């Protein structure tokens, strides 16, 4: 069902993915140079960041670069607006599992918002090697160095079995185009299995929170959630001032297990 071009790209990505998995290169934890201060030209964005700093008593720029800090404020903004508008009670404590965490650069945001007792980021391509000679796990180790309750696990979530009270997925892959653009092979595209595993791993009374790119992708994901037996709880579109750079607004949805 894939085109020849897609299959060729997938083979190439599969080669590099397989190699990074075998080599498992690491140079140790990488700490970003903290920006300490942010210069935000856009007035609305600056105001929103100030409000978030105040409300959650955080200053991401104390530990992270300017770009990573602004990205964290964006995710915190999405959480703050979304959970506020949806009326969903914010769950705190317990075990939080994030699926497809990349380098888990937003772990500090999840910690700030959910205050979990334990937090795990599950990423299938944790050993990806970057141009600076560092691997994704090196970056993850740096981002988690101030979060003793957090862990980064390199695994395919479709095969991962650990119960959690809160499961989050920020922009999970649903289409061949998206996964190939991220330079992963098509063999890793199994969204139906992924959502079934979420249903299985979600503790009774737990909540699955998902963020998708735009309404069309959200509908696709919601169909998969429903097929996996997850129960729809709420949906919100939150085009906040910090998400201006996105072509499509983030669409948030909340799901329950049994
Ligand atoms: C679009 S990226 C989003 C990254 C991150 N959540 C964020 O918001 O920046 C999707 C991530 O999911 C990871 N991924 C894809 N399939 C996965 C799977 N089956 N298990 C775990 N991670 C997966 C990819 O490697 C990639 O890092």
Give pLDDT, residue 197. 98
What order do you get walking across the sheet with 95-99 strand by strand?
Answer: 150-154, 118-123, 95-99, 164-170, 202-213, 250-256, 231-237
Cα(106) to ligand 1 centroid in Å equals 13
Give pLDDT, residue 48. 97
pLDDT by residue (tens digit) across 119-158?
Answer: 999 999 999 999 999 999 999 999 999 999 999 999 999 9
Q: Return the percentage of the chain with pLDDT > 70, whole number.
A: 100
Tokens (6 digits) for 86: 């949806």
Cα(54) to ligand 1 centroid in Å equals 30
Cα(184) to ligand 1 centroid in Å equals 10
Residues 6 or more apart from 243 whose CB is under 8 A from it? 74, 77, 78, 249, 250
Protein residue with least CA distance to atom 13, ligand 1: 100
- Separation CA 193–CA 160 (nearest Å): 11
Give pLDDT, residue 239. 87
Cα(211) to ligand 1 centroid in Å equals 12
Q: What is the pairing mode between strands 250-256 and 202-213?
A: antiparallel
Give pLDDT, residue 109. 98
Q: Quick one: residue 202, left, alpha or beta (phi over 0 = left, psi -120 to 50 = alpha)?
A: beta
Protein residue with least CA distance to atom 11, ligand 1: 100
Tokens (6 digits) for 193: 């299995």
Tokens (6 digits) for 221: 């994901």
Give pLDDT, residue 50. 98
Give pLDDT, residue 1. 85
The pLDDT tens digits along the chain (258 residues) read 899 999 999 999 999 999 999 999 999 999 999 999 999 999 999 999 999 999 999 999 999 999 999 999 999 999 999 999 998 999 999 999 999 999 999 999 999 999 999 999 999 999 999 999 999 999 999 999 999 999 999 999 999 999 999 999 999 999 999 999 999 999 999 999 999 999 999 999 999 999 999 999 999 999 999 999 999 999 999 889 999 999 999 999 999 997
Whole-model pTM: value is 0.97
> What dotted CATH number matches 4-256?
3.40.50.150
Protein residue with least CA distance to atom 23, ligand 1: 100
Protein residue with least CA distance to atom 1, ligand 1: 171
């Amino acid at each position: 069902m894939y085109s020849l071009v897609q299959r060729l790209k997938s083979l190439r990505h599969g080669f590099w993915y397989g190699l990074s998995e075998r080599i498992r290169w690491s140079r140790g934890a990488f700490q970003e140079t903290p920006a300490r201060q942010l210069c935000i030209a856009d007035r609305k964005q600056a105001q929103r960041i100030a409000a978030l700093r105040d409300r959650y008593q955080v200053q991401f720029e104390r530990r992270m670069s300017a770009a990573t800090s602004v990205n964290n404020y964006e995710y915190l903004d999405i959480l703050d607006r979304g959970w506020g508008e949806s009326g969903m009670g914010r769950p705190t404590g317990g075990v939080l599992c994030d699926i497809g965490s990349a380098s888990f650069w937003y772990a500090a945001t999840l910690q700030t918002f959910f205050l979990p007792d334990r937090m795990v980021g599950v990423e299938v391509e944790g050993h990806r090697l970057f141009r600076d000679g560092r691997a994704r796990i090196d970056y993850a180790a740096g981002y988690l160095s101030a979060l003793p309750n957090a862990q980064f696990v390199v695994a395919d979530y479709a095969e991962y079995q650990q119960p959690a009270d809160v499961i989050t997925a920020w922009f999970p892959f649903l289409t061949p185009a998206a996964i190939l653009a991220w330079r992963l092979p098509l063999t890793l595209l199994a969204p139906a299995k992924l959502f079934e595993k979420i249903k299985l791993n979600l503790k009774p009374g737990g909540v699955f929170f998902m963020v998708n790119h735009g309404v069309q992708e959200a509908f696709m994901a919601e169909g998969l959630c429903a097929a996996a037996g997850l129960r729809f709880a709420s949906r919100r579109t939150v085009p906040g001032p910090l998400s201006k750079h996105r072509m499509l607004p983030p669409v948030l949805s909340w799901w329950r297990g049994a």
